[in-house]
A and B are shown apart, each in its own frame.
Chain A
Amino acid sequence: MKIKPRIGLISCSGEGLSEGMISREATRRILEQRDDVVTICLPLFLAGGQEEKDFAKNNPCITIDGCDKICAAKGVKIYGKVHPKSSIIISKIAEKQKSPRPTSKSKIKPEDEKLVQETMKIINKEIDRVKEEE
């Protein structure tokens, strides 16, 4: 019996930007809601062993980045030698939604909730799409 790999969600978690807080929060909420997804701490790609380096090879990945430096997407490419199946960027979602920039790097404020919800909606949609393809 072939076991289907779970979808890997990789968030940038960017400490330097408030958008990193949104990517982290939205990703974490999805992880707590679904059992067909799995994550890895992005810095573990470098700090971990072969198992961590192979994460992106063994699991189709969706990356969730705060800004257009797209660390998570690049990390998958550098360490996994594969492209993410989908790349979500919070700053682009905010721009499209005409949302104000989140102001806190450490807490989700009530006014940021709309952006978190929209990001979760997009992540869920992408998970279902990637699952269809696999």
Chain B
Amino acid sequence: MSVKKKSKHIIIPCSGIGKTVGTITRRATYMVTDELLPNDTDSICLPLLTIQDEETVRKIRENPCITIDGCVAQCAKKNVEHHHGKLKGSIKILDVMKENQKLKPGTVLDIGPDGEKLARKTAEKVAKIAGDES
């Protein structure tokens, strides 16, 4: 009897270096892959997708992907779409901030306690999408 290997959700943050929201995407990703769903999720380097790395492109086509973007450019989502990845969900930090207007994140290098809270809320949203069967 062959056992089909369960596919892992690939969480892809934009990691944008120019903005605090980029750091929050990265932090949220690690909360999901290291704490919330360590056995069911994995991540990739987005730049590897940008340079069309074969193995990375294959990975996003074979596994459901959830992107986390910091700004309106939505680099993570667009990179996955461009390479015809299996996009299961996408989250924008700006939307999470709109829902939590009292939380004011810090800087790119130190997102501060409010940034951590925003990352946590984002991570929970990602985990929920990953948990959905559809």
Interface residues on B, range: 20 to 34
Total interface residues on A, CB under 8 Å, equals 33
Residues of chain A contacted by B115 (CB below 8 angstroms):
none
The total of interchain contacts (Cβ-Cβ below 8 angstroms) comes to 100
Q: Which residue of A lies closest to B14 (CB)?
A: A43
B47: min CB distance to chain A, Å: 4
User: A75 at the A/B interface (Cβ < 8 Å)?
Assistant: yes
A93 and B4 alpha carbons, distance in the complex (Å): 42
Return the CB mask of A41-73 against B: 1 if under 8 Å, else 0.
111111110000000000000000000010110
Apart from A43-B76, A71-B51, list 10 A-B contacts with CB within 8 A: A12-B45, A13-B45, A15-B46, A16-B48, A29-B109, A41-B16, A41-B75, A43-B78, A44-B73, A71-B50
Show the binding face of B for A, using Cβ within 8 Å. 12-18, 22, 26-27, 29-30, 43-53, 73-76, 78-79, 82, 108-109
* 10 tightest A-B CB contacts, nearest first: A71-B47, A43-B75, A47-B78, A47-B75, A14-B45, A13-B15, A41-B16, A16-B45, A74-B51, A106-B30
